[in-house]
Structure 1
């Protein structure tokens, strides 16, 4: 039954009720054999009304189910809108920027830069070793962190600590990748410590310890910092490797 027919249905039900009322006013006609046919008509109308009411009940249940589905859809849309608004308001500064010619259509050249630039003389470069850095967490990653771990920490604060940890990683491994003879006295002492902290399990891995955090960053190594490390472990950005009384934070 279509929803647009609901008004007609109500009107029809009212008319049936009026017929029944009038018929009941003549309830004594059963004593008259000539009027018994009217009673049969009343019974027939009652059966029709009963079937009609069943259809009304089915339609109401259908409309309630539809309303419930629409309400659930509204909740989902509101949640998606909230997440989209949060992303729009918290675009991280580390996103890559468009290149100077990114606005040009494919196959078209920049009309300003038509000059042929001669290639520079080839130079022999010493291949630099790549230093692994920790990836920033996404909004979805942060959303999956349990509330008890966050403890009022924000998405931006976690990514900020990642950038500081990356500074420590880069600072450490730049020293390790340089020839020893090019290092000053302080750097040579650091290099000795770095090598002493390595084990067979750290071979080929990039890791730092708390001493590296203190020497290469301004981070305060306290309870709050260790809480951030717990979030990074949960997000699979680092893992802990213990040994020789030292906790090593290995980049995943």
Structure 2
């Protein structure tokens, strides 16, 4: 804008100078015409010749003013181009803001959440005080329970979901597929928790389940994690219908599971 203001000010100065020149020229011409009425013809010719330098200067001022106007038009054109570019950038920015807001409002439930920050100083002091007050008696030779790490089916990513053929996906959405993955992981966790429990801690129902789990194991499943349809029905609310079979096909396509048949049971082993 400073360039545009400078050119405008320059044009105003030139116009003001030109206006003064015209006024002075008009006054001078009137005086000379009155004088010519009383003077001879040769005096009129000499006055006309004396006006030539003034007219030449006037023409120069007009030419300079014309150049300034051309520069002014060019500057206005550049300002218009910059304004159009700024409008395009503003529209692009607004689209990005809308996309971010949509992502924030539609975060999938299966996405990992940010862990809570460190406890405050007051919470730490309270925890330390409680620890100091409570001094439990530690019995000797107490066996600590072995922690069992159960392998889980990894969440399907968006590129993986898009790579699944349309005929295989059907009407199952990306969110529904990962909800099924979470259900399978829940069944795995519940199954192997019972499977590694001591017999004395089991109820009659869980003891029967543990026996079934062991009967379904084979040499090929040793050291691996797997579920069967009975596990899905037992520990989740998912129906083992045709839609569920389609989901299993998609998980096999994404190399999350593989089938192992035998003894009238289909086992779905984690990869």
- 1:188 to 2:205 alignment: no
**Number of residue equivalences:** 225
Shift of 1:203: 5.7
Q: For residues 196 and 8 of structure 2, what CA distance do their matches in structure 1 show? A: 86
Higher mean C-alpha displacement, 105-114 vs 62-71:
105-114
Report the CA distance shift for 1:46/1:133 in structure 2 as closer, same or farther (over 3 A).
Answer: same
Equivalent residue number for residue 47 of structure 1 = 67
Aligned mates of 2:10, 2:242 — CA distance in 1: 74
- Offset from partner CA, 1:212-242 (integer Å, 9 cap, x none): 43454442123433454567678x6x61324
Task: Please state if 1:213 is matched with 2:213.
Answer: no
Is 1:119 the equivalent of 2:137?
Answer: yes
Superposition RMSD in Å? 5.0
Choose 1 or 2 for highest CA Rg: 2
Deviation (angstroms), 1:8: 8.1
Matching residue of 1:23: none
What is the CA–CA distance in structure 1 between the aligned matches of 2:81 and 2:160, rounded to whole Å? 37
Equivalent in 245, 251, 258 of residue 241 of structure 1: 258
Measured after TM superposition, the shift of residue 83 of structure 1 is 2.6
Distance 1:247 1:16 in 2: 95
Residue aligned with 1:59, SS: helix
Q: 1:132: which partner in 2?
A: 151
Question: Equivalences for 1:25-44 in 2 at 5 Å?
Answer: 34=52, 35-44=55-64
Aligned-partner Cα distance in 2 for 1:96–1:117: 34
1:17/1:203 Cα in 2 relative to 1: closer, same or farther (>3 Å)? farther
**TM-score normalised to the size of structure 1?**
0.60
Q: Deviation digits for residues 50-85 of structure 1, max 9, x if unmatched? A: 112111111221222222222222222222233334
Match of 2:22 in 1: none
**Which residue in 2 is equivalent to 1:80?**
100
TM-score, normalised with respect to structure 2: 0.56
Distance 2:239 2:103 in 1: 32
Mind listing any 5+ residue stretches in structure 2 that lack a counterpart? Answer: 19-48
Residue 133 of structure 1: SS of its match in structure 2?
coil
d(CA) in 1 for partners of 2:209 and 2:129?
51
Q: Distance in 1 between matches of 2:170 and 2:8?
A: 57
The 1-side partners of 2:172 and 2:178 are apart by 14
For the residue of structure 1 that corresponds to 2:98, the secondary structure is: helix
Which has the larger share of helix?
2
TM-superposed deviation, 1:45: 1.8
- Worse-superposed segment, 53-62 or 65-74: 65-74
